[in-house]
A and B are shown apart, each in its own frame.
Chain A
Amino acid sequence: GQNIDQPTEMTATEGAIVQINCTYQTSGFNGLFWYQQHAGEAPTFLSYNVLDGLEEKGRFSSFLSRSKGYSYLLLKELQMKDSASYLCAAQDSNYQLIWGAGTKLIIKP
């Protein structure tokens, strides 16, 4: 079956770095997405990886290892506004998104 696993909740300190891991199993693979979702709002796109390696975009970076079925989202210089849920989603061979349950990130001062 198809499955996405990510931690339910993480806590980090303002100004620090946090890594949110995601493992996936899908029927075929056409890329891995990370989305940010604030409470009561729709998800917003953060990153897309389809090749192995690290993609850096400002304070956020995303890594993919296709052979391991593994990705992580790295957030640097954490700000209070980064408190949100972070959704990992893998795109299968039919280009459908398989969603993880999301990781709630709590930032403390």
Chain B
Amino acid sequence: GAVVSQHPSWVICKSGTSVKIECRSLDFQATTMFWYRQFPKQSLMLMATSNEGSKATYEQGVEKDKFLINHASLTLSTLTVTSAHPEDSSFYICSAPGGGLADFYEQYFGPGTRLTVT
């Protein structure tokens, strides 16, 4: 099946710094990628939809100037958490829909990135 990778798998940063998380589709092209945030014992919360070659679509309540998304190519989307605060500490997961018609309905998830802001 399709593989999505994320880098880094975990990161610790100081409050006020910025952190970039990469999401790559390894064996298929993804014109759309989704970024989720998951707090402990809670479900996935969609943050934004990343579109290759155009601006990302952010969910209500998600600050687009704080969570910068860049979908630079058909295999790479990046999420940058700017001026990170301890409350941004979370598990960030990206996903991409499958490439073929039969796979369209399935989301392929990256392994996630655990961000801890101290």
Contacts and interface: CB of A to CB of B under 8 A. Distances in A.
Interface stretch (B40-48, B60-68, B69-77): B40-48
B93 A91 contact: no
B112 A42 contact: yes
A96 B46 contact: yes
A105 to B, nearest CB: 14
A48 interface: yes
A50 interface: yes
User: Range of interface residues on chain A?
Assistant: 20 to 34
A27 interface: no
Interface residues of B, number: 20
Q: Is the interface of A mostly helix, strand, loop or mixed?
A: loop
A54 interface: no
A87 B109 contact: no
A48 B105 CA distance: 8
Contacts of A69: none
B42 A101 contact: yes
Contacts of A97: 34, 46, 107
A6 to B, nearest CB: 10
